[in-house]
Structure 1
Amino acid sequence: MSHLEKFEEKTIGTRTIYQGKIITVELDDVILPDGKSAKRELVRHPGAVAVIPILEDGRIVLVEQYRKALGKAMLEVPAGKLEPGEAPEVTARRELEEETGYACDELIAVTSFATSPGFADEVVHVFAAKGLNAVENPLQGDEDEFVELHEVTLEEAEEMVADGRIFDAKTAFSILWAKGARNVR
């Protein structure tokens, strides 16, 4: 028996509960490894990217925007969802330009990770962007998206994570990566 088979839950039925603009919520009936049955509520998400924009002097660019789910404005690295059939690198370049007004000469794939595997299939692909240059007529972001830019040193960003001003997992991860990368400049 493989490691996967030892823990696998076999789906015997799926029902879509909600189909939205960004997510789909499904209710799965599954058979557990011990033969008992259970229900699983699952959020289906197309995936997303996060970009660590690194300026020539080593500062990073963060965006501040209101997040309705938490009811507050948050500081984050630029990010956005994948469009159908779109490669993560394409999404990363688009989101960087839309949210910050910058394009980059170099886009470095950092890693990918699941955000909430207990109930969602969202995977975030993280990139570092170097060789930033301001775009004269940048792509416009979503019409319902309002952001403010903050250019901060890595030390300032670390302090923001430590004191809770940065509360977002992808951003905290990105700052930790940048700190360990040694190639920030």
Structure 2
Amino acid sequence: MTQWTVHGTRRIYESEWMSVDLDDVEIPDGERFEHHVLRLPFASTAVVVVRDEHVLLMWRHRFTTDVWGWEIPAGRLEAGETAETAAVRETEEETGYRVRVEPLVTINPLNGLSSHTTHVFTGTDAAKTGEHDPAEAARVEWVPLDEIPGLIRKGLVPCGITLAALTTYLTLTAWSGPPSGPRRAG
């Protein structure tokens, strides 16, 4: 058997945003030790907003890593909120665009250390409803999808959730076409 066994959990820190636990785990060879686990009480959402072979991206700074980069709209679910509702809300709050969403993929960004889940959606039918939130992004732009691989190679998409969402979208649409129809060759 290759599954780890959890014998217990000891909470080290807790806030409304997260908790840090020490889980008493046993690995398949019988070794037992404490493993740090970050637990977030709410899942998050992220949205790859596409229109006319472009994706809506936010240029922003993250103080935690002191890095500037392109990100898709994302945020946590509020209590009682569905992932779909949160995705629409977060996109509009952060970018000033209201979208219709369809599920793309669900990921666990740090599954070796965290129980956190992010539900990623494809956003379509973007309608401008206001301005972007300057606390969320220095600017918001429609970037051609064919420029995304170059931005990734240059290290300009440092956010793991954004990177996973964009590469998943590009991979799946290369095989099946975007939600609005087949992808043009060329």
Q: For this structure pair, what is the TM-score category when the shorter chain's length is used for normalisation? A: 0.7 to 0.9
> 2-side partners of 1:124 and 1:175: how far apart?
14
1:125 to 102, 119, 132: 119
- Structure 1 length-normalised TM: 0.84
Per-residue deviation at 1:88?
Answer: 0.8
What amino acid is the match of 1:20?
S
Alignment of 1:5-20 (within 5 A): 6-20=1-15
- The match for 1:40 is 35
How many equivalent residue pairs?
174
Deviations 1:93-138 (A, max 9, x none): 111101111112x3110010110111111111110111110115x7
2:109 to 100, 107, 115: 115
> 1-side partners of 2:168 and 2:7: how far apart?
40
Judge conservation of contact 2:44–2:118 (CA < 8 Å) in 1: yes
2:168 to 163, 177, 183: 177
Judge conservation of contact 2:157–2:163 (CA < 8 Å) in 1: yes
- Unaligned 5+ segments in structure 1 are 1-5
> 1-side partners of 2:167 and 2:57: how far apart?
14
* Match status 1:163 vs 2:157: no
RMSD across aligned positions (CA): 2.2
Judge conservation of contact 1:158–1:175 (CA < 8 Å) in 2: no
- The match for 2:90 is 95
- Unaligned 5+ segments in structure 2 are 181-186
* Residue aligned with 1:34, SS: coil
Identity %: 26
